[in-house]
Structure 1
């Protein structure tokens, strides 16, 4: 049995996918190879993982961990009439102003993160919280340890041709453009259609899904690239994982949204509406929908797993 047949059979018992789940699987499987200097093709193993990740509709590890590097202040007056694009441009300015002290890691080091996560289930209003710690190899050549929703995963080193799209390796991230127009082309994976813009929004979200140290200017350029995506919308009633009032920026029919501080425009985290699916053999069990927010409480660069900044 080939891999694609396995994926098709796996999907037989899975609830109907949302648009964002289909896109999350699709953008990892399509257009992984583009012009010189862009991410290399996904390995066969990661391609199969990506397909299953889309099928599980955010039930797998790595789909809901979101970072927020900046702590908001209270010295900037709130401007309630900003459009989504205007808000993103102000968030980009804030990112540039606050990024001077961002560490530049060595390949042999680890990115340490401590993340606060809160999940509220739609059916009964029950809320769960986690504080997760992770040590991720900077260049992927060493084992990593990541904690997600209280479960520790000991990941092996990445294979030679295994990369994420967008990448997590710092050296690969440094190849991505910091010009917003050029970055948007990369995020669209060369597709100048409505689907290309949908993929661009999802790719931009993926920059923040897995904790990583962003090279100078890349975070700001990402916000400005998203500001150029037609159809982005704004929600002024968002609240982040720590109860801070925020403004969310989303794309129609997507359950992911960036959340920014309502006063300072600092990036707070990402809002997600998802569903949990577990498997026993090939039988899938759907456990209902939830709303989730995550906030990065600490980010640093260390020399070994277990070390704190």
Structure 2
């Protein structure tokens, strides 16, 4: 096991994020152009940057997202069904998620403990191509280290950038209404060119959903529940209860347009995946060359999938 400074890697990740913001209106750069193979440590951040760039591209070419909160079920595209059976409030689904996670036992890791994640990545937008690839990574609870396998060897990296996402959780006010106000205030205070979504509601949705994804274990149940309640109040949120994650398991997809979806386990309501679905507007596009040929696929095709297979607290990097 080695312990290496992370400065150069963080620079590449920062370069990736900046390049995606800069080229959002021209062409989405492939992750492999800027990040060389690598340890799964940066995959959480790279996914957010990648789907953010796709959302920004979509903002240039797509029509505005229809306001309202809806759920898309098996009958959503069936014109023979009455409208009342096709459209149901997503608030019900998300509030049920909040109620479910709120009663879970509270288990807070020590600062020196690690969170182990095993993931499954696939799709034409993935670094390695369509074939599913399993990855493992560890990040320390206090955000000081993260680790993964590189060339078959476990490598531990010192985090010189922003610390744990759990630190941000600790700064949130109590209660879903106060949280919602803070998220919107933070988005309003951010330069719009730095947004990864084309509208304010989408940006808040992406921020809250990504925070839930980044904190798979150890988050206080009440806080986790309030984050779901915040999502339930965001205009334009949609829920599809008839999908499967990258491992073929039943899931509930939560989205805010432009094809970016977060997947929930339908029993525990914990986040188990992220994916991008082609909708005719969110393919990588160049002003000079048009849509990337690899992404010329029918609407509804999953172009990128990241599925969380395992997430648990362990005592050291490398432990499963």
Q: TM-score, normalised by structure 2?
A: 0.58
Structure 2 unaligned residues grouped into runs of 5+: 1-9, 36-42, 49-84, 193-197, 285-290, 296-301
Question: Is 1:176 the counterpart of 2:172 in the alignment?
Answer: yes
Equivalences for residues 2-17 of structure 1 within 5 A:
none
Where 2:158 maps in the other structure, the secondary structure is coil
Superposition RMSD on alpha carbons, in Å? Answer: 4.0
Question: Is 1:91 the counterpart of 2:97 in the alignment?
Answer: yes
Question: Is 1:244 the counterpart of 2:249 in the alignment?
Answer: yes
CA distance in 2, matches of 1:58, 1:225: 32
Where 1:64 maps in the other structure, the secondary structure is helix
CA 1:113 to 1:46, structure 2 compared with 1: closer, same or farther past 3 Å?
Answer: closer
Segments ≥4 residues shifted beyond 6 Å: 43-46, 150-153, 274-277
Structure 1 unaligned residues grouped into runs of 5+: 1-42, 66-78, 278-284
Is the 2:101–2:268 Cα contact (8 Å) retained in structure 1?
no
Q: TM-score, normalised by structure 1?
A: 0.60
Is the 2:138–2:148 Cα contact (8 Å) retained in structure 1?
yes
CA 1:212 to 1:127, structure 2 compared with 1: closer, same or farther past 3 Å?
Answer: same
Q: CA deviation at 1:185?
A: 2.5
Per-residue deviation, residues 110-147 of structure 1 (Å, max 9, x unmatched): 21112233x2449xxx84212221111222223x2146
Where 2:207 maps in the other structure, the secondary structure is helix
Count of residue correspondences: 232
Q: CA deviation at 1:181?
A: 1.6
Is the 1:258–1:271 Cα contact (8 Å) retained in structure 2?
yes
Per-residue deviation, residues 20-74 of structure 1 (Å, max 9, x unmatched): xxxxxxxxxxxxxxxxxxxxxxx99976553234444673643339xxxxxxxxx
Q: CA deviation at 1:203?
A: 0.5
CA 1:173 to 1:45, structure 2 compared with 1: closer, same or farther past 3 Å?
Answer: farther
Is the 1:236–1:247 Cα contact (8 Å) retained in structure 2?
yes
CA distance in 1, matches of 2:154, 2:203: 28
CA 1:267 to 1:141, structure 2 compared with 1: closer, same or farther past 3 Å?
Answer: closer
CA distance in 2, matches of 1:153, 1:200: 36
